[in-house]
Amino acid sequence: MHRFYVTANQIQGEEIAITGPDVNHIKNVLRMKPGDEIVICNGQGKDCYCIINKVSEGEVTTRIHSIQDTQTELKVKITLFQGLPKMDKMELIIQKAVELGVHEIVPVMTKRTIVKLEDKKKEEKKLERWQAIAEGAAKQSGRGYIPRIQPVISFREAVQKAIAMGLGIIPYENANGIQRTKDLMRGLGQYANIGVFIGPEGGFDEAEIELARTNQIAPITLGRRILRTETAGLAILSMMMLELEE
């Protein structure tokens, strides 16, 4: 069944109005007509199974006949605290992290971060671009929830944010004990929220690792190889997805 996404203001009681580019797709590409069934997701974890009422030039109106929880979300909300990387790597990281089920992405300035977003307007433009990438990835992968890309914060602020979560983990090239990583993976299902910290190029400073450790954020190893910043997050998220998938 064909699937589309809307915002909250497009849902009015038992009716949902589809506008924008999706109208052309429904009308001229799919050639759908009144009486056809479609799935409309509200982007907040709910799928509305609908019947098309009317197809006009600028709008498709539908009627809801049932609502279900989207079945594509992980049972644990994962926040990725990503150290800002160089160039366009953040775009790749966001796209793939959303596909792998992350709930939220928080860009983080660390001691070894090379990129500096000191201009507020440039940061806002970046965030807008990143949010659009997250939305596209969520739709492509059939997500029921569109992850938010939060404003850039400092490493210390990220640690404070993660303290309130059930579990915080920070892959670190000098950590030892792959068995501990495996044990942590097996126990992920007991938590409601998990924070994952990934460093930028050059990794984390030792003082940052110590700050994380003293706040119960566990340094773990991902193996004997040193992974790039754009690889490390996707590696750990893949492990977590496999463990949490139902």
Q: What pLDDT does residue 161 have?
A: 95
Q: What CATH number belongs to 3-69? A: 2.40.240.20
**pLDDT tens digits along 85-117:** 987 899 999 999 999 999 999 999 999 888 777
User: Does position 119 have pLDDT exceeding 80, yes or no?
Assistant: no
Report the candidate in 218, 237, 217 with the shortest Cα–Cα distance to residue 227.
Answer: 237
End-to-end CA distance of the chain: 22
Residue 246: predicted pLDDT: 80
Q: Provide the 10 A C-beta neighbour count for residue 79.
A: 23
Q: What is the pLDDT of residues 206-239, one digit of tens each?
A: 999 999 999 999 999 999 999 999 999 999 999 9
What are the C-alpha distances in Å from 78 to residues 11, 31, 37, 154, 207?
28, 39, 33, 19, 24
Residue 59 and residue 86: Cα distance in Å, rounded? 41
- Going from N- to C-terminal start, the domains of the chain cover 3-69, 77-244
The fold for domain 77-244 equals: Alpha/beta knot (3.40.1280)
The predicted-structure confidence for 30-49, as pLDDT tens digits, reads as follows: 999 999 999 999 999 999 99
Predicted confidence (pLDDT) per residue in 43-90, tens digit: 999 999 999 999 998 999 999 999 999 989 999 999 999 999 987 899
| 173 neighbors 131 (Cβ within 8 angstroms) | no
